């Protein structure tokens, strides 16, 4: 899930309340502590909360009790895989050209 997709799950107006921590997306919707997508007037659902959790009074284990509903895609992660595909395509094209050259010689 991208950050833009995660932002849609802000817990407002009946929407689910999701938050990301260390790349995992958790569903806080069932928690009374996340009513309306807001936790203690300090944290809003629909965001990466990893840095905010560092200053939280509770440990990460509290967050890990919630169901994991996905993984947060980091910016540029798709570009890396696209680059690998492009390199593979170039190598395949070169191999085909070499084979054609050898056969048609």
Residue 23 corresponds to which tokens in the numbers above? 């790349």
pLDDT of residue 16: 95
Position of tokens 């009790």? 65
Separation of alpha carbons 62 and 29, rounded Å: 14
> How many whole angstroms separate alpha carbon 105 and alpha carbon 102?
5
Q: Locate tokens 């840095």: which residue?
A: 51
Instruction: Give the predicted TM-score (pTM) of the model.
Output: 0.67
**Which of 19-33, 36-50, 74-88 is the least confident region?**
74-88
Q: Would you tell me how many other CB atoms lie within 10 Å of the CB of residue 36?
A: 14
CA distance 39 to 102: 68
The number of residues in the chain equals 105
For 55-100, write each residue's pLDDT tens digit: 777 767 788 899 999 999 987 655 445 566 778 788 888 888 888 8
């Amino acid at each position: 899930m991208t950050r833009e997709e995660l932002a849609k799950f802000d817990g407002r107006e009946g929407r689910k309340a999701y938050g990301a921590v260390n790349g995992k997306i958790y569903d806080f919707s069932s928690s009374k502590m996340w009513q309306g997508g807001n936790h203690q007037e300090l944290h809003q659902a629909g965001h990466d909360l990893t840095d905010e959790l560092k200053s939280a009074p509770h440990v990460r284990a509290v967050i890990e009790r919630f169901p994991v509903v996905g993984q947060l895609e980091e910016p540029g992660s798709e570009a890396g895989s696209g680059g690998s595909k492009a390199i593979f395509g170039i190598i395949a094209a070169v191999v085909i050209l070499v084979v054609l050259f050898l056969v048609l010689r």
